[in-house]
Amino acid sequence: MHLSRPSSLPTLLSFLILGVALLSANPSAQAEHEGKIQILLLGDSTTEGSIPRRLKPEGPHLEKVLEQLLAAEGDLPPCHVINSSLSGEYIKRLFDSGRYDRDAAKLPGVDYVFIRYGLNDRAKRENFTENFPKDFHELLARLRKDHPNAVLVPMTVIPFANEEVSKEINDLVFQVAKEENLEVFDIYPRYAAELKKGFNMLNYRRYPVEKVPEKYQDLVKPFIMGGRVVVMANELDPILGDLPGWYSDRHPNLAGYNVIADETAKYLANKMRKQKTAQ
């Protein structure tokens, strides 16, 4: 029995050479998708989008839309977006829960990190004006340690709270970024401008079912989720829109996340082109 034939050796060598060539053809290939720019999103519910994901599981959701918009530019490298965000999260909880170490610290080959916190930090972190900047600095230090080649991008919050509260949070983001010599991606103006086209156009409706009048209980049954009436957009507004608090939940719906994706794609495309020109 022959273990090999003379003619098989060149074939084997050819496969080995081809394999080495493929591995070395793109030395900048990073993370879980070879040859793709890796973009990490860190944030709270206004980045995660848990309710739109439950209402429309097939999406596309923020990370996929961002990938598609970047691909549509035509002159950018392929990108992979990792949305590692969590409802109710603030920076201290990101660390204390172990989620940073579990979900973010060990991701290989991250190129960009977009960081959008502040809403829950203000609501849940004691001594917010002192501790939020401190926590933000700590997060940036950890990211620099774990992802030394990544571009870190602090973001402002969207107009979720009133203008005064939003400014308080965003001023601190700008302060931290200045101290860290980082550029802020200011998403607030674009989102605020879109709201002028229709103040409730970018948020879903989430309303306690017990507050819905009895005569409409049958109507809302298909929309009940976790004891609340949950609607992606405006289909029940003509009937229930006059109920007190019907529009009070300001979390983005899919249209809101598309605003964020579109503005992020524009910002990132510009950054990537400048980086390419500088090389």
Ranges of each domain in the chain = 32-198+254-278, 204-249
SS3 235: coil
Topology (CATH) of 32-198+254-278: Rossmann fold (3.40.50)
Task: Give me the pLDDT at residue 277, please.
Answer: 82
Question: What are the CA-CA distances from residue 149 to residues 92, 140, 144, 176 (Å)?
Answer: 24, 13, 8, 20
Query: What does the chain look like in DSSP terms, one character per residue?
Result: --S--TTHHHHHHHHHHHHHHHHHH-TT--TTSTT-EEEEEEESHHHH-HHHHHH-TT---HHHHHHHHHHHTSSS--EEEEEEE-TT--HHHHHHTSHIIIIITT-TT--EEEEE--HHHHHHSTTHHHHHHHHHHHHHHHHHHH-TTPEEEEBPPPS-S-HHHHHHHHHHHHHHHHHHT---B--HHHHHHHHTT-TTSSB-EEEEGGGS-GGGHHHHGGGEETTEEEESSSTTHHHHTTSTTTT----B-HHHHHHHHHHHHHHHHHHHHHHHHH-
Question: Average pLDDT in the 78-104 region?
Answer: 97
pLDDT at 233 over 80: yes
Report the alpha-carbon distance of residue 169 to residue 164 in Å, rounded.
9
pLDDT digits (tens, 9 = 90+) for 159-206: 999 999 999 999 999 999 999 999 999 999 999 999 999 999 999 999
SS3 181: coil
pLDDT digits (tens, 9 = 90+) for 113-142: 999 999 999 999 999 999 999 999 999 999
Task: Give me the pLDDT at residue 184, please.
Answer: 98
pLDDT at 225 over 80: yes
Residue type, 16: L
Residue 35: band (very low, low, confident or very high) from pLDDT cuts 50, 70, 90: confident
Q: Which of 27-31, 121-125, 210-214, 232-236 has the lowest mean pLDDT?
A: 27-31
Task: Give me the pLDDT at residue 2, please.
Answer: 37
Tell which residue, 98, 83, 105, has the closest CA to residue 150: 105
pLDDT at 144 over 50: yes
pLDDT at 17 over 90: no
Task: Give me the pLDDT at residue 34, please.
Answer: 65
What is the rounded average pLDDT for all residues in the chain?
90
